[in-house]
Amino acid sequence: MSIDLMPNRFIHGEVTLAPREAALVNRRDAVLGASYRLNYRNPVHFVRGEGMYLYDPDGVRYLDFYNNVPSLGHSRPEVVEAVARQSSMLNINPRYLDTHLVDYAERLVATFPKSMGRVVFTCTGSESNDLALRMARFVTGGDGVIVTEYAYHGTSAAAAAISPNLGSAIPLGPYVRTVRLPGVHGISDSDSAAFFRSEVEGALADLIRHGIKPAAFIADSIFSSDGVYTDPAGFLSGAIKSVRNVGAVYIADEVQPGFGRMGETMWGFARHNVIPDIASLGKPMGNGYPVGAVVGRDAIVDEFGKAARYSNTFAGNTVAIAAASAVLDVIEHDGILDNARRTGASLLNELRRISKKDNRLSEVRGTGLFYGASIGTDEHTKDERRQLSREVVNGLRDEAVLISTTGANEDVLKIRPPIICGDEHVTMFIEALERVLDRIK
Ligand SMILES: Cc1ncc(COP(=O)(O)O)c(C=O)c1O
């Protein structure tokens, strides 16, 4: 039986929709491409967002414990004002001189290790990864790419071809090799680094044996689609040495963990005490405004840039930069990383407390404000675990709390609130989760 790659979704006929939502779903289906999916068994319909909350047309307030794009909260006033102000004054592309672009570029690279001194702007995380791959292939002269077993790196043709998460209908490129993550396969912390290094070395050897020169190892620094694997801190570093030993580069996909979500530092790779050759950014960079970037080692970005012209119509335009600058201002002045660390610690404690008394929450992983909670035990079949996860996510939806699932079997709760989340929101979430778990006993 093939696995439903997106179990947390609306399926026609499974629930009876309210007339207003039924009519809207029908109109959507008649006009939108069939590749869209709606989250939740009973889809949610929103008209407004503010801070940690989203509101439906009847004024019902949903607690958002899922969205990492409006990382500083929905409709964050500083970002809204910056976008409105800049839109009313000037919006040009980066081929004209503009102080804001350079100011922001300087501030952004200052948050990276010194060796990563160049930035190129993009519009999405997929475009960032696409460009990172082009740079890696250009400077190494290779083609081979190593990814984790259930990685997701985006929607462009090149990014989809390195995204096993998209399922077997979307083929991986012949130059792609996948590696197993230690945590997913029950490897002890003390053996994790050696296990992962040997996985990566095996993949490098296999590429070379097939006449494919390795270009890059790319990893989401928090392994979000693999099921959220943060520990043991540092387990990546040996593997990256092996990648560099054969002349390939390490791309850190920071689209999920970047901009402070992990609490400890701005960037997820820092947890592994490694410095990437290239980092790709997206999602929270503009708090909802589409803006992304590639930040890389000077020599790599310059070598590529001298040969290849790269700019596009919208990337790095003045309004995008205004949004991104406002995001950095808030992160710098509002103690956002401290909050992710502090509130994240209470959230983790609470999840572990539940896990101790209820073995259906079998393992909790993560750091800052990004957690994966595995559902089910060895006594459950894979199907039962996936089904149970779906019940929890939809039970929470009925309690007006948003989360979703992740992992190869979609049996890990993905808990990833905006990073302005406070203790009161943690309490609301935990109480709702306990009610749902009680209900589906
Ligand atoms: C790790 C990772 N990389 C890249 C992307 C692609 O970003 P975008 O949807 O902005 O193209 C995503 C999106 O979910 C992601 O999770």
Q: State pLDDT tens for residues 91-141.
A: 999 999 999 999 999 999 999 999 999 999 999 999 999 999 999 999 999
Range name among 2-16, 176-190, 273-287, 396-410 with the lowest pLDDT average: 2-16
Whether 220 lines ligand 1, by a CB cut-off of 6 Å, is yes
Residue 255 Cα to ligand 1 middle (Å)? 6
- Can you state the angle between helices 125-140 and 298-307, rounded to 10 degrees? 90
Q: State pTM to two decimals.
A: 0.97
Residue 417 Cα to ligand 1 middle (Å)? 17
What is residue 332's predicted lDDT score, i.e. its pLDDT?
95
What is residue 1's predicted lDDT score, i.e. its pLDDT?
40
How confident is the model over 151-161, as a mean pLDDT?
97
Which residue is closest in CA terms to ligand 1's atom 14?
154
Residue 29 Cα to ligand 1 middle (Å)? 25
Instruction: Take residue 347 and report the two structure tokens written for it.
Output: 């959230």
Whether 256 lines ligand 1, by a CB cut-off of 6 Å, is yes
Whether 125 lines ligand 1, by a CB cut-off of 6 Å, is yes
Residue 153 Cα to ligand 1 middle (Å)? 5
Residue 254 Cα to ligand 1 middle (Å)? 9
Residue 283 Cα to ligand 1 middle (Å)? 7
Containing H/E element for 404?
strand 404-406
Whether 112 lines ligand 1, by a CB cut-off of 6 Å, is no
Q: Of the candidates 291, 229, 284, which has an alpha carbon nearest to the alpha carbon of residue 258? A: 284
Instruction: Take residue 367 and report the two structure tokens written for it.
Output: 């750091």
State which ligand 1 atom lies nearest to the alpha carbon of 127: 11
Q: What is the pLDDT of residues 71-81, one digit of tens each?
A: 999 999 999 99
How confident is the model over 359-363, as a mean pLDDT?
95
Q: What is the pLDDT of residues 303-349, one digit of tens each?
A: 999 999 998 899 999 999 999 999 999 999 999 999 999 999 999 99
- Evaluate the omega torsion of the peptide bond into residue 164 and state whether it is cis, within 30 degrees of 0: no
pLDDT band of residue 7 (cuts 50, 70, 90) is: confident
Whether 69 lines ligand 1, by a CB cut-off of 6 Å, is no
Task: Give the span between the Cα atoms of 105 and 183, in whole angstroms.
Answer: 36
Mutate to test the pocket of ligand 1, among 6, 71, 123, 126 (most ligand atoms within 8 A of CB): 126
pLDDT > 70 fraction of the chain, expressed in percent and rounded: 99
Q: Taking the CB of residue 329, how many other CB atoms lie within 10 A of it?
A: 15
What is residue 4's predicted lDDT score, i.e. its pLDDT?
66
Which residue is closest in CA terms to ligand 1's atom 7?
125
Given a cut of 70, whether residue 185 has pLDDT beyond it is yes
Residue 231 Cα to ligand 1 middle (Å)? 22
How confident is the model over 24-36, as a mean pLDDT?
95
Task: Give the span between the Cα atoms of 64 and 44, in whole angstroms.
Answer: 12
Given a cut of 60, whether residue 268 has pLDDT beyond it is yes
Whether 253 lines ligand 1, by a CB cut-off of 6 Å, is yes
What is residue 136's predicted lDDT score, i.e. its pLDDT?
98
Residue 419 φ/ψ, nearest 5 degrees: -85, 15
Which residue is closest in CA terms to ligand 1's atom 16?
256
249 three-class SS: strand
Given a cut of 60, whether residue 2 has pLDDT beyond it is no
Whether 154 lines ligand 1, by a CB cut-off of 6 Å, is yes
> Rounded to whole angstroms, what are the CA distances from 290 to 67, 83, 198, 332?
15, 12, 38, 21
